[in-house]
Amino acid sequence: MKKILCFALVAALMIAMLAACGGGSSDVGDDDTLYIGLSIRGLENPYYVQILEGAEMFAEAMLPAGSYEIRVMESQGSDDKQINDIKAFLAAVGTNAILYVDPNNAPNAAVIAEMCEEAGVYWNTTWSYADGVFPWDYEYYVMHQTADNEMGGYAAAAAMFDRFETPGTGKIVAILGMLTNDASIDREKGLMKALDEYPNVELLDIQPGNWSPQEALTLIQTWLAQYGDEIDGVWVANDSMALAVAEALRAEGLNGVVLVTGYDCIDDVIPAIEQGDVYATYASNPYLQAGFGLAYTYAA
Q: Tell me, what's the pLDDT at 131?
A: 87
Do 18 and 91 lie in one domain? The reply is yes
Q: Tell me, what's the pLDDT at 18?
A: 40
Q: Tell me, what's the pLDDT at 267?
A: 87
Encode pLDDT of 247-293 as tens digits: 999 999 999 999 999 999 988 999 999 999 999 999 888 999 999 99
Q: Which domain holds residue 44?
A: 2-147+285-299
Q: Tell me, what's the pLDDT at 32?
A: 87
Encode pLDDT of 35-77 as tens digits: 999 999 999 988 999 999 999 999 999 999 999 999 999 999 8
Do 118 and 180 lie in one domain? The reply is no
Is residue 86 in some structural domain?
Answer: yes
Task: Tell me the C-alpha distance between 39 and 208, whole Å.
Answer: 22
Q: Tell me, what's the pLDDT at 5?
A: 36
Burial 65-93 (b: 16+ CB within 10 A, else e): eebbebbbbbbebeeeebbebbeebbeeb
Q: Tell me, what's the pLDDT at 198?
A: 98
Give the long-range contacts of residues 121-126, CB within 8 A, separation 24 or more.
121/90, 121/93, 121/95, 121/97, 122/98, 122/297, 122/298, 122/300, 123/37, 123/98, 123/99, 123/297, 124/99, 124/100, 124/293, 124/294, 124/296, 124/297, 125/101, 126/100, 126/101, 126/102, 126/289, 126/293
Q: Bridge partners of 144?
A: 125
Q: Which portions of the chain are predicted below pLDDT 70?
A: 1-31
To the nearest 10°, report the CA torsion of 264, 268, 274, 275: -130
Is residue 233 in some structural domain?
Answer: yes
Q: Tell me, what's the pLDDT at 145?
A: 93
Do 140 and 169 lie in one domain? The reply is no
Is residue 60 in some structural domain?
Answer: yes
Q: Tell me, what's the pLDDT at 129?
A: 86
Is residue 280 in some structural domain?
Answer: no
Do 216 and 95 lie in one domain? The reply is no
User: pTM for the full model?
Assistant: 0.76
Find the CATH number of the domain harbouring 101. 3.40.50.2300
- Please give the distance of CA 37 from its chain centroid, rounded to a whole number: 17
